[in-house]
Amino acid sequence: MKLSDFRVLTFDCYGTLIDWESGIYAGLQPLLHKGDITLGRDAVLETFARHESDQEAVTPGMIYSDVLAEVHRRLAAEWNIAATDAEHRRFGASVPDWPAFDDSTAALEYLKRHYKLVILSNVDRASFSGSNRRLGVEFDAIYTAQDIGSYKPAPANFEYLLDHLGRLGHGEHDILHTAQSLFHDHAPAKKFGLASAWIDRRHDQKGWGATMQPPEGAAYDFRFPTLIAMAEAHRREVG
């Protein structure tokens, strides 16, 4: 199997293209300071992951900005911090402030010369539009949780992806799913027979950060520490 075997790269965005862990942690600083919470960064992110995953499962039709507001509300309750609705909603609206990884735009610009680029993301359309401006790349298709009515790793998200790309003439063998999260992306992608590339942004860190621990048997076909490393591997492959 080679990178050049594929015609379409389908991307998770947050954690893969956008540095959501830095964005989440920065967005939670007012709450942490207000409550004098001294947990380390990874402990904060792991607590976020637990509440985010549960909230998405409980309210699959809720748009992501509202999911984040509810997660902020849950965190305030767990840490016994009195927080206002405005503070919850401010965190919910923070996605456009989350930074892109330094290599994302250059890597996407290179990959766009060789593939169709498609987003499959647990986000709402308005929040993603802010992230897209940071990335500065025009995607060939954008499929959000708001469009689908559920959140990865739900099967419906990958069914939607395959159905819509099929209408554009792309079968599953054309697609390389490219993502950071083994939990949200690689485990369900494998169940649908999709090849996948793990962009292991946490390769130099322990634990799973802002994502839940993946299920046993989660697998992938390629592994790179960064997206630019994947782009460089493709460049070498095609000479």
Give the active site residues.
Answer: 12
Do the beta carbons of residue 51 and residue 75 sit within 8 Å? yes
| Helix, strand, or coil (residue 18) | strand
Tokens of 50: 């637990």
Locus of tokens 């939670």:
28
Phi, psi of 202 (to 5 degrees): -100, 25
- In whole angstroms, what separates CA 121 from the centre of its chain? 6
Contact 179, 199 (CB under 8 A): yes
Distance of CA 176 to the CA centre of its chain: 15
The DSSP secondary-structure symbol of 202 reads: T
CB of 222 within 8 A of CB of 197?
A: yes
196-210 as b/e: b if 16+ CB within 10 A: bbbbbbbeeeeebbb
162 contacts 168 by C-beta, under 8 angstroms: no
Give the neighbor-by-neighbor strand order of the sheet with 116-121: 141-144, 116-121, 8-11, 175-179, 195-199, 222-224
